Amino acid sequence: MGLQAAHALTAADALAVVDGDTDTRIETINRLAAEPDARATALIRAMANEAVRLQGERVLIVEGEGAVDAVTGETLATLPEDAGDVMINNRLRSAMDNALAGMELLGAPPDRQREAARTLQRSAFEEPDASQLPLIDKALAGDLDAQARQSLELGRAAVLLASEDPAQRLSAAQKLGEAKLPIVRPLLQQQIDQESDAGVKAALLDSLKGIDRMLAVGNALAQAFTGISLGSILLLAALGLAITYGLMGVINMAHGELIMIGAYATWLVQSFFRASLPEWFDWYLLVAMPVAFMASALVGAAMERSVIRFLYGRPLETLLATWGISLVLMQAVRSLFGAQNVGVENPSWMSGGITLLGNLNLPWNRIIIIGFALAVLLGVTLMIGRTRLGLFVRGVTQNRPIASCMGVNTARIDTYAFALGSGIAGLAGCALSQIGNVGPDLGQNYIVDSFMVVVLGGVGQLAGTVYAALGLGLLNKFIEGWAGAVLAKIAVLVFIIVFIQKRPQGIFAMKGREA
């Protein structure tokens, strides 16, 4: 009871909240929010909801048709006719939002604590005010989530950075520098321009240099991650081509359309789950992967049995025939699904990302696609190198007559191998649908890059495909950050042309009997 009495809302405080100059009202709101008083809390909440009226020097909280005296708690059956509105401007609204955020911190779930702490931090960064300190100190004294505590500590340091005491400014500069967050940099830069104390200014400069070093490292790592992400996408797109072109020697210009078919199959599965199994929607991708593989594999098998089987050993005619097939497939998709792009939604477990070093954000969909590309690579490597089908494929591609003499059905193996390469293209389409829109022209964006990856890595060499895909992805992104996207594309193309001129066999050349 003694504690409650010590912090009881007084008539003077209630009047100071609703009437007078803005600075005094904000200071009073911050002070009351830091005190454990239910009536003060109710008054601030009512102010935020514009449910407060002023009758002379009496502050009333509107409740339905009646009202409650904010100080005494007296209930009035009807709102007095002479009760006037209370003026609230944007600064007051911001102060009340901060006060409510601070009051909701203690005892709230971690997510709510983080949100409220970010609100207080943002206010401290934008308009530091010493009257905010009691509210922040009260919140810091409680049991807080680690991220919420960090946000509040940074907010407190931002307020102290505007203090008249050089010792407090020095401590605040060091605290803000330790955080090494990009959001701190403008605050430090602004304070450096107006700082008069030499010691504090030196601390501010040291903190700023530390943040700049961290940002440089974060940018480099972000470019590396983006390059690896692009490389993993190129790897997925090129793996199927490494089989159909690298092992079988078929120049398949419809490979991009097989990627597109896998993407559309993913979209169809998503649409089915959204309409028929909404409670299982988050798991549609696990069903879409085998569906995309089978859809593209069946189309590839049909292409091989109907057209390509008659063109082995005639690369120019194969190129023209598969180019014609690609046009047919694109027009078929336009007729079935329309010319407009369709959107594929990420499952909830692929949304969001991981933030490191303040400015390095790693999206979950990109991380999962990198892992998926590695899993597909491992599966293809094991299948080609360790299974009976892989043995037959290698035997047929290396020496068809001898394989036929040994009893291998070479025509069937050709179909299986082409269907495998096409199915992997479908998996690439499934992955690509998670990072962009799906449209009839999707595959055209990757067919040239896929051929470049296979040729650069060495025809028929899976290891070379991996090195070439990741290398081109990293090279493209680092040059893009320096010279822009168009010049980066040109530079990568020039590099590939020069490399192939000097080493036509690619990174890894065939040796021995394979050659």
The residue ranges of every structural domain in the chain are 217-339+365-514
What pLDDT is attached to residue 505?
63
Whether 181 contacts 211, CB under 8 Å = yes
Is the pLDDT score of 3 beyond 70? no
Question: Mean pLDDT over residues 233-260, rounded?
Answer: 83
Q: Tell which residue, 274, 431, 233, 256, has the closest CA to residue 333.
A: 256
Crossing angle of helices 90-105/38-48, nearest 10°? 140
Residues with Cβ within 8 Å of 164's Cβ and at least 6 positions away in sequence, in order, are none
56, with CB counted inside 10 A (0-12, 13-18, 19+), is exposed
pLDDT tens by residue, 70-99:
888 888 888 888 888 888 888 888 888 888
Is the pLDDT score of 350 beyond 90? no
494: its two tokens: 């020039």
DSSP 132: G
Residues with Cβ within 8 Å of 29's Cβ and at least 6 positions away in sequence, in order, are 17, 44, 47, 92, 95, 96, 99
Place of tokens 């979950």: 364
pLDDT class of 346 with cuts at 50, 70, 90: confident
Place of tokens 């409680």: 142
Question: Mean pLDDT over residues 456-485, rounded?
Answer: 76
Q: What percent of the chain has pLDDT over 70?
A: 93
Greatest Cα pair distance in the chain: 108
Residues with Cβ within 8 Å of 103's Cβ and at least 6 positions away in sequence, in order, are 33, 41, 44
274: its two tokens: 């959204």
Is the pLDDT score of 222 beyond 90? no
Q: Tell which residue, 255, 238, 256, has the closest CA to residue 455.
A: 238
Is the pLDDT score of 348 beyond 90? no
The secondary element (H helix, E strand) that includes residue 62 is strand 58-63
265: its two tokens: 């199959």
Place of tokens 């992104």: 477
21 SS3 class: coil
Is the pLDDT score of 360 beyond 80? no
Q: Tell which residue, 162, 316, 171, has the closest CA to residue 250.
A: 316
The residue type of 2 is: G
487: its two tokens: 């010049």
pLDDT class of 21 with cuts at 50, 70, 90: confident
Is the pTM of the predicted complex or chain greater than 0.75?
no
Is the pLDDT score of 460 beyond 70? no
- Residue 259 Rama label (left phi>0; alpha psi -120 to 50; beta): alpha
Q: Tell which residue, 499, 417, 449, has the closest CA to residue 245.
A: 417
> How high does pLDDT run on average in the chain?
83
Residue 482 burial (CB count, 10 A): 11
What pLDDT is attached to residue 271?
92
pLDDT class of 260 with cuts at 50, 70, 90: very high
Q: Tell which residue, 244, 237, 257, has the closest CA to residue 420.
A: 244
| Helices (H), ranges, 242-283 | 255-276
Place of tokens 């991009």: 256
Is the pLDDT score of 296 beyond 90? yes
Sequential DSSP letters for 296-353: HHHHHHHHHHHTGGG-TT-HHHHHHHHHHHHHHHHHHHHHHH-SS-B--PPPGGGSSE
Q: Tell which residue, 222, 220, 221, 231, has the closest CA to residue 475.
A: 231
Place of tokens 């009340």: 96
What distance in Å separates the CA atoms of residue 502 and residue 515, rounded to the nearest whole number?
A: 19
What pLDDT is attached to residue 453?
82
Lowest mean pLDDT segment, chosen from 291-300, 417-426, 452-461, 463-472: 452-461
Residues with Cβ within 8 Å of 322's Cβ and at least 6 positions away in sequence, in order, are 250, 251, 252, 253, 254, 255, 303, 307, 308
Whether 428 contacts 235, CB under 8 Å = no
pLDDT tens by residue, 149-199:
888 888 888 888 888 888 888 888 888 888 777 888 888 888 888 878 888
pLDDT class of 299 with cuts at 50, 70, 90: very high
Is the pLDDT score of 482 beyond 80? no
Q: How far is CA 111 from CA 70, 147, 179, 238, 290, in A?
A: 31, 10, 21, 42, 37
pLDDT class of 459 with cuts at 50, 70, 90: low
66 SS3 class: strand
pLDDT tens by residue, 389-399:
888 887 887 77
Q: How far is CA 121 from CA 34, 81, 153, 184, 407, in A?
A: 16, 41, 8, 11, 75
Residue 41 burial (CB count, 10 A): 18
What distance in Å separates the CA atoms of residue 4 and residue 40, rounded to the nearest whole number?
A: 11
